Amino acid sequence: MHFQNGQGEVEMADYFERLNYSLGDEDTALEYALLPQHARHVVGVAGCGGRLLPLLARSPARMTCVDISAPQLAFTRLRFALLEQTDHESFMDFMGFLSGASAKRRQSIFRHLDLPPPDRRWLADLFHSRHWGAPVYMGAFEQTLQRLAKINGLFTGKAGRAIFQCRDLGEQSAYYQRHFPQKRWKAVIALLGNAAVLNSLLYRGAFPRNNLGIRSREVYLGIFHTLFTTQVVRDSFFLQMLFFGELRYPQGLPLECDPQIFQRARKALQGCELAVVQGDIFDCVAACRDVDFASLSDVPSFLPPAIGTRVLQRIQPALGKHALTVIRGHLHVVRPDCNGFCDVTAQFQDAIAREKTQLWRVQVYRQTSPVQVFR
């Protein structure tokens, strides 16, 4: 395993920017379901590392993790170091997926990790400032969810949290229809649908304009109605965070926590050429060849419309035959120029319906006309 940095040594000043995500707002099980085994090259937005770590279990020959944020890349390298250098129990203890791990235990695990010196210094300062609590809750997104969970608790109380006691979807649906505090929950949704809250929660100060033609409040009512009526709520890490501010039920732990996924990813890492790159995802993909899978998250949502519509064309020369590109959009959905691509989203509706946040409108495109590159 080796790490690369696309811009040379990261300036220390960059490391004191905000850590936006430590758990994340996407269910990686979706990309895992889409990714074929033994892909030649997987490229994706790094985030906090949790969205790409499970994809290693599919044994790609190469994986490139890209982000413009130095703190997010430090957290990504931390996750891969834990994967490579510790065992599953230590990973779970350190990150805080298992309750009860002490500060002393985390410090001991961290002390023995081989990390780049700038990462070690920044992470040590972060963990020290948070008294070596659970790193999985240290991102700005996760802390915002914890604040919302407190507000949610004030509005919906025990009646809201009681839905997590349901044993199956039938019992849950009945409780949701007859006993769940619907009116008080709608007040929480009104807060969640507020642009200022969304700006803090999902968009890091760069709120993309809602282009769905539906009010934000109605979008959220639909999202949560779907979650409450089609998925067992204990299975959703997102709903656990929104009601408790922490992960209480193991059924909802993200895919990276699955011991079999962890072990397969660890084994695959030994033969994978892994690069962690600071930079623009599209510049990075454009510089690659034989990319079989590109996971762009919601990055296209933040681009000016004229540029956003060209995202597929921009990366097309780097893609291999039949390569898949996955784009997510929340309240802003990009409609890209699909020349040379086929929209195959409908083929993956079952996997999309199982996504544990339902925050995203997912688009999947398959390369149909590879560009011939002459050298």
Spell out the domains of the chain, with CATH numbers in brackets: 12-137+258-367 (3.40.50.150), 149-252 (no CATH)
**pLDDT score recorded for residue 14:** 37
Q: What is the per-residue pLDDT for 206? A: 61
Answer yes or no: are the C-beta atoms of 198 and 145 closer than 8 Å.
no
Q: pTM above the 0.85 mark?
A: yes
Paired residues of 342 in beta bridges: 366
CA–CA separation, 48 and 73 (whole Å): 7
| pLDDT for the residue 192 | 74
Q: What pLDDT does 7 receive? A: 40
- Tell me the one-letter amino acid at 122: W
Residue spans of the chain under pLDDT 70: 1-17, 193-207, 370-375
Q: Specify whether the backbone of 131 is left (phi greater than 0), alpha (psi in -120 to 50) or beta.
A: left
Residues 6+ away with beta carbon under 8 Å from 42: 35, 52, 55, 58, 60, 62, 63, 64, 291, 292, 293, 294, 295
